[in-house]
Structure 1
Amino acid sequence: MIILTVMIREKLIMENRKTKNEKNQKEEIELKEEAAVSTGENTPLDNEETKSKEKRTASLEKENECLRKELDEQKEKYLRLFAEYDNYRKRTNKETSEAYSRATAEAVTSFLPLLDNLERAQQYAPDDEGMRALIKQLQDILVSLKVTVIDSDNKCFDPNFHNAIMHEEDESTEECRIVQTFQKGYMLGDKVIRHAMVKVVN
């Protein structure tokens, strides 16, 4: 009986010591963690969280870099496409304008002889109101198409606008001066569609 009591007592003492040791170890760990926090050192848990955050940050930075690269590529494609479209638009507008000018010049040139004949006929019938009205109507059409008459009378001869079909000697007149216009010249905008036929002093 005494032996059993002694054994139980020793067992209780050992368990009590074990409990104290575990408690002391726990308190020691807590003290170390508190000391680490106060000194700025990372605990194992903090280290895991830090590594996880760093890994997540690296992943986001890599994804962001990929998106930025893709955005730059799309921007470059857009700018190139916009430049191509702008060049196409300018080229198309220029071609359309040139085609319109050519068609207008051809149409005007085709009825200029009619206007020439009417103006010559008017010199012999200056009081013919019908002829005068018809000439005025044709001249208004030319104005609406931005067709202008080349000024020739008493002007200095310019081969860009005039075609000299006759020459005469006259010492009293400045050389290369136009003294007579046989046929009017016309321009469409800044383009000559028919040169003026003139007489020039040598």
Structure 2
Amino acid sequence: MSAADDENDGQATERVVIRDRRKIDPKSEAGKASEAKTAAGPGAHRAAEPEEEVAAEVTEATSALGAELEALRSELDERTHDLQRVTAEYANYRKRVDRDRGAAAELTTGAVLTALLPVLDDIDRAREHGDLVGPFASVAESLTAATGKLGLAAFGEKGDAFDPNRHEAVAHQTSADVTEPTCVEVMRRGYTLGERLLRPALVAVADPE
């Protein structure tokens, strides 16, 4: 055993502690990393998602929205076509009903006026013979005016060109005074209701020689 060992024998050995009092430079790489870690705090790794994943989610959401919009547009077009078809069918129905109603009203009016034609023939004969006077003349004029308001129109005058669609010839003769078949005598006037022929006129026809 040496003398040094004898000297240290029996007393505690003192530990040597080294302290580094140097400060970290904030501008150094270590300082920057430390500041970044401190500023980020806990959970920062969850906020920093990869850009590819974000873009994929946006694309998927856009595709779903586009598909839904396309479905809504298709349904809207279908409903629009249905509405247009129903509107057209209703318009055609109204036209058909109005046409049928008008035809029925014209048939009814024609039937009533046809029943009055013999009375009008008597009035014409009385007028030709000069018997249309007094109160009877007033009644006759009122009846003629009323039938005229309903659309009844008389035709058939001496000198009219013969029309087989409107005239019924009961006699034929030749004449040097005409250049075409002409009504030279009217036995009974004809009547029309609008464009409809109620009764043809009875006439005598003269043909050119």
Q: Place the TM-score, normalised by the shorter chain, in its bin.
A: 0.7 to 0.9
Pair 1:50 & 2:55 matched: yes
Per-residue CA deviation, residues 92-144 of structure 1 (Å, 9 max, x unaligned), is: 11111111111111110001101111221333343622221122111101211
Q: Return the match for 1:190 from 191, 195, 204.
A: 195
Q: Partners of 1:5 and 1:152 in 2: how far apart?
A: 153
Pair 1:157 & 2:144 matched: no
Q: In 2, are the aligned partners of 1:180 and 1:199 still within 8 Å (CA)?
A: yes
TM-score, length basis structure 2: 0.74
Q: Flag the 1:129–1:21 CA change in 2: closer, same or farther, 3 A.
A: same
Name the structure 2 match of 1:170: 175
Q: Return the match for 2:138 from 126, 133, 138.
A: 133
SS of alignment partner, residue 203 of structure 2: strand
In structure 2, what residue type is equivalent to 1:79?
Q
Q: In 1, are the aligned partners of 2:154 and 2:191 still within 8 Å (CA)?
A: yes
Per-residue CA deviation, residues 36-68 of structure 1 (Å, 9 max, x unaligned), is: xxxxxxx73433332232222111111100000
Q: Return the match for 2:99 from 86, 94, 110.
A: 94
SS of alignment partner, residue 163 of structure 1: strand
Return the structure number with greater helix share.
1
Percent identity (aligned): 28
Indicate the structure (1 or 2) with the bigger Cα radius of gyration.
2
RMSD over equivalenced CA pairs, Å:
3.1
Q: Flag the 1:123–1:21 CA change in 2: closer, same or farther, 3 A.
A: same
Q: Flag the 1:65–1:26 CA change in 2: closer, same or farther, 3 A.
A: farther
Q: In 2, are the aligned partners of 1:173 and 1:201 still within 8 Å (CA)?
A: yes
Deviation at 1:170, TM superposition (A): 2.0
Q: Return the match for 1:109 from 107, 110, 114.
A: 114
Deviates most, 179-188 or 114-123: 114-123
Q: In 1, are the aligned partners of 2:123 and 2:132 still within 8 Å (CA)?
A: no
Q: Return the match for 2:89 from 75, 84, 88.
A: 84
Per-residue CA deviation, residues 5-37 of structure 1 (Å, 9 max, x unaligned), is: 67xx7xx9xxxxxxx989749959x9xxxxxxx
Deviates most, 125-134 or 172-181: 125-134
Q: Partners of 1:2 and 1:178 in 2: how far apart?
A: 163
Q: Partners of 1:117 and 1:192 in 2: how far apart?
A: 20
- Where does the alignment leave 5 or more consecutive residues of structure 1 unmatched? 13-19, 31-42
TM-score, length basis structure 1: 0.76
Per-residue CA deviation, residues 60-100 of structure 1 (Å, 9 max, x unaligned), is: 11110000000010011111111111111111111111111
Q: Partners of 1:196 and 1:4 in 2: how far apart?
A: 151
Name the structure 2 match of 1:65: 70
In structure 1, what residue type is equivalent to 2:100?
E
Q: In 1, are the aligned partners of 2:151 and 2:193 still within 8 Å (CA)?
A: yes
Pair 1:123 & 2:140 matched: no
